[in-house]
Amino acid sequence: MSALKTLPAVVFLIFALIQPVFSQNMHIHKKDNTIISIPVSDISKVTYSSSTPDVSTPSTSVQPANTVMDVEGRLYRTVRIGRQTWMAEDLRTTRFSTGGVIPNVRDAGDWKDMSTPAYSWYDNVPELGGGYGILYNGYAVENGFLCPNGWRVPKMDDWEILIKTCGSIAQAGAKLKSTESEYWTIPNSGAEDKFSFRAQGTGYRTSTGNFAMRKGTGLWWSSTAATYSNYSTIAMYYNYSSVAKGSYPKTQGACVRCVKEDY
């Protein structure tokens, strides 16, 4: 009976203890020095969500303007030239846009025997910090998924439009070549890089697996088949202001400069 008499007093004491809490506000102090006040009685629960990005999926939410991201999360500068949008750097992805891995074939004998997609760095020395692009064989181009989504390996028609924007085939090399001495041998004839295209003396890998002409020749694939075994190419040289159109077998290694789909 005595216990029942003390029950109201206990209930009153508990209420007295918790009532001030529910009459208080929670204050959230933001980095901009503003304060958000919320009555504790209005809060049902407090949760925390980490802002750390998922590194397994590249985020484009803060991607800088005039850039494009490849499947590995690598950013490339882009440039508008006439009615086209081009990458202002050579491709350096080691995966297709579908996620498939492109084999890195270092050995010359293995390279010579390839009849499937492959890539290598010039002299097998990776340029992880940028600079020159990767040398891909024609089978990698043939795959159709080298460039980021919404971009493609240029057709010869795309290169022709770019050449026309430069004025002529005789002037195109001068208009497109980088003026940076680290990428071309002197005299780098006529180079003015009018459109910030930054074409470099990429060099290439021959069908026998040898590396040649770094800083002397820039060689880029097109996606246009010249013959059953060859794809059409564009070349620039350290001692000419012009551009040269040609073709090489799929076993050759050359760079890729992507162009935006539908420009």
- Each residue's pLDDT tens digit, 164-216: 999 999 999 999 999 999 999 999 999 999 999 999 999 999 999 999 999 99
Residue 236 shares a structural domain with residue 138: yes
pTM for the full model?
0.76
pLDDT at 222 over 90: yes
Whether 240 shows a pLDDT value over 50: the answer reads yes
β-bridge pairing 25-29 and 35-39: antiparallel
Is the model's pLDDT at 3 over the cut of 90?
no
Q: Is 58 helix (H, G, I), strand (E, B) or coil?
A: coil
Residues 30 and 75 in one domain: no
Torsion angle (degrees, nearest 10) of CA 263, 69, 162, 80? 70
Residues 130 and 216 occupy one common structural domain: yes
Does residue 3 lie within any of the structural domains?
no
Residues 108 and 204 in one domain: yes
| Count of domains for the chain | 2
Mean pLDDT along residues 135-158: 98
The yes-or-no verdict on residue 128 having pLDDT over 90 is no
Is residue 86, in this structure, part of any structural domain at all? yes
Range of the domain at 74: 67-260
Residue 150's identity, in one-letter code, is G
Longest dimension (CA), the chain: 110
What are the residues whose beta carbons fall under 8 Å from the beta carbon of 3, sequence distance 6 or more? none
Ranges of H-type helices in the chain:
2-22, 108-112, 138-143, 156-166, 169-176
In 3D, which of 223, 240, 248 has the Cα closest to residue 176? Answer: 240
Would you say residue 34 has pLDDT above 70? no
Q: How far apart are CA 15 and CA 23, in angstroms?
A: 12
15 and 129 within one domain? no
Mean pLDDT of 100-108: 98
CA 135 to chain centre: 16
Domain shared by 74 and 38, yes or no: no
**Looking at the structure, do residues 85 and 192 belong to the same domain, yes or no?**
yes
Same domain, 23 and 74: no
pLDDT band at 31 (very low <50, low <70, confident <90, very high): low
Q: Does the structure show a pLDDT above 90 at 258? A: yes
Q: Cα separation of 213 and 201, whole Å? A: 8
Q: Are residues 157 and 193 in the same domain?
A: yes
pLDDT at 5: 45
Give domain status of residue 215, yes or no. Answer: yes
Whether residue 59 is contained in a domain is answered as no
* Same-domain pairing of 36 and 81: no
| 199 within a domain of the structure (yes/no) | yes
CB 69 within 8 A of CB 57: no
| 61 inside domain | no
Q: What per-residue string of b and e applies to 79-113 under the rule 16 or more CB within 10 Å gives b?
A: eebeeebbbbbbbbbbebbeeeebeebeebeebee
Is residue 197 assigned to a domain?
yes
Residue 163 domain-assigned? yes
Pair (33, 132) in one structural domain: no
Please state the length of the chain. Answer: 263
Q: Are residue 215 and residue 154 in the same domain, yes or no? A: yes
